[in-house]
């Protein structure tokens, strides 16, 4: 299941260059588990002009892909898995892929493209039977808002249930200079990517292309330490807490029954 993850900060190199003759090269940052997820990984990739990292494929995990540099296009397959659609993407655009959804990415441009990928799963729990969304593509001009004239404006982008999550939530936060919020603990995993300005959290200043991963149950605060507004994109991963609690209760009952049986056998002997 991997190591248990702690809160971390990563500064993404943008543009990320390819080494040697490679046409695709991932730069891995995170791989492990959290309180709510059996697996959570995060990497940035560089994709050469005219290249694709792999043919359309599918897997059991869910993914979020966010374009950082260049103009790649994602290739998605319709529900019949016969017809495919190509969608041109720009920096700031992102896509969500559910488990079992055929997809890939390619770069029709003349320069190397960069994108980041979040991938997660939770196979220790029974997956949700009902899924609110099959896939979703969000263009950056759909969620970028004007700089607020008052403290901390939060603009929702989407929120829905997935196979492995009770809720996948996304919003954009704008912070005015010298504003922020106090330390607190969330029961869900949080991933943040800074888009404009500067924020301070976990004891560090973070500029654009800086990312923060805060697993469930870990304290964090947020501050805009600069004289300019700051903007960051937030993804929240809400686990199936009821299912996890139910499984733990069943496991406890089984342990009690095993101990009771052993005691009865011991007494009879």
User: Comparing 145 with 239, which gets the higher pLDDT?
Assistant: 239
Residue pLDDT, tens place only, 222-237: 999 999 999 999 999 9
Q: 143 pLDDT band (50/70/90 cuts)?
A: confident
Q: Please check the confidence at residue 149 and state whether its pLDDT lies above 60.
A: no
Distance CA 43, CA 6 (A): 16
Q: How confident is the model at residue 246 (pLDDT cuts 50, 70, 90)?
A: very low
The confidence score (pLDDT) of residue 129 equals 73
Instruction: Work out the pLDDT band at 2, boundaries 50, 70, 90.
Output: confident
**Terminal-to-terminal C-alpha distance of the chain:** 40
Give the β-pairing of 24-32 and 39-47.
Answer: antiparallel
Q: Residues 160-179: what's their mean pLDDT? A: 94
| Residues 6+ positions from 27 with CB-CB distance below 8 Å | 13, 16, 43, 44, 45, 46
For residues 205 and 198, what is the distance between their CA atoms, to the nearest angstrom?
A: 7
Instruction: Give the pLDDT confidence score for residue 249 in this predicted structure.
Output: 43
Nearest of 105, 102, 88 to residue 58 by alpha carbon: 102
Q: How large is the average pLDDT for residues 120-126?
A: 85
pLDDT the model gives residue 265: 57
State mean pLDDT over 194-218. Answer: 98
- The full set of domains in the chain, from first to last, is 8-242 (2.60.120.10)
pLDDT, one tens digit per residue, over 97-122 is 999 999 999 999 999 999 999 999 99
Across 18-29, average pLDDT: 97
Question: Cα 153 to chain center, whole Å?
Answer: 22
Strand 219-223 to 180-185 pairing: antiparallel
Residue 221 has a CB neighbour count (10 Å cut-off) of: 13
Distance from C-alpha of 137 to C-alpha of 63, rounded to nearest angstrom: 12
Q: Which two tokens stand for residue 9?
A: 């900060």
pLDDT single digits (tens) 249-269: 444 456 666 666 555 555 665
The 3 state secondary structure assigned to the chain is CCCECCCEEEECCCCCCCCCCCCEEEEEEEEEECCCCCEEEEEEEEECCCCCCCCCECCCCEEEEEEEECCCEEEEECCCCCCEEEEECCCCCEEEECCCCCEEEECCCCCCEEEEEEEEECCCCCCCCCCCCCCEEECHHHHCCCCCCCCCEEEEEEEECCCCCCEEEEEEEEECCCCEEEEEECCCEEEEEEEECCEEECCEEECCCEEEEECCCCEEEEECCCCCCEEEEEEEEECCHHHHHHHHHHHHHHHHHHHHHHHHHHHHC
Q: What is the dihedral of CA 9, 122, 243, 65, to 10 degrees?
A: 60
Question: Whole-structure pTM over 0.85, yes or no?
Answer: yes
Nearest alpha carbon to residue 139 among 77, 190, 87: 87
- State the pLDDT at residue 120: 97
Average pLDDT over residues 244-253: 46
């Amino acid at each position: 299941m991997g190591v248990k993850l702690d809160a971390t900060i990563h500064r993404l190199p943008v543009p990320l260059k390819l080494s040697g003759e490679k046409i695709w090269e991932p730069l891995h940052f995170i791989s492990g588990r959290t309180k709510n997820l059996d697996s959570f990984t995060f990497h940035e990739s560089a994709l050469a002009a005219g290249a694709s990292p792999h043919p359309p494929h599918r897997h059991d995990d869910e993914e979020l892909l966010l374009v950082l540099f260049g103009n790649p296009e994602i290739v998605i397959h319709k529900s019949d898995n016969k017809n495919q659609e190509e969608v041109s993407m720009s920096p700031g655009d992102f896509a969500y892929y559910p488990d079992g959804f055929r997809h890939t990415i390619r770069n029709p441009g003349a320069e190397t493209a960069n994108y980041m990928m979040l991938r997660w799963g939770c196979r220790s729990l029974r997956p949700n039977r009902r899924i609110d969304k099959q896939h979703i593509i969000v263009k950056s001009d759909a969620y970028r808002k004007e700089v607020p004239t008052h403290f901390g404006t939060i603009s929702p982008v989407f929120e829905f249930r997935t196979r492995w999550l009770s809720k996948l939530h996304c919003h954009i936060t704008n912070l005015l200079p010298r504003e922020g919020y106090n330390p607190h603990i969330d029961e869900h995993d949080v991933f943040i990517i800074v888009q404009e300005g500067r924020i301070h959290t976990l004891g560090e200043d973070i500029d654009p292309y800086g990312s923060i991963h805060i697993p469930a149950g870990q304290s964090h605060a947020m501050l805009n330490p600069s004289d300019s507004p700051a903007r960051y994109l937030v993804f929240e991963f809400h686990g199936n807490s009821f299912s996890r609690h139910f499984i733990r209760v069943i496991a406890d009952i089984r342990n009690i029954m095993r101990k009771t049986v052993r005691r009865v056998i011991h007494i009879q002997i």
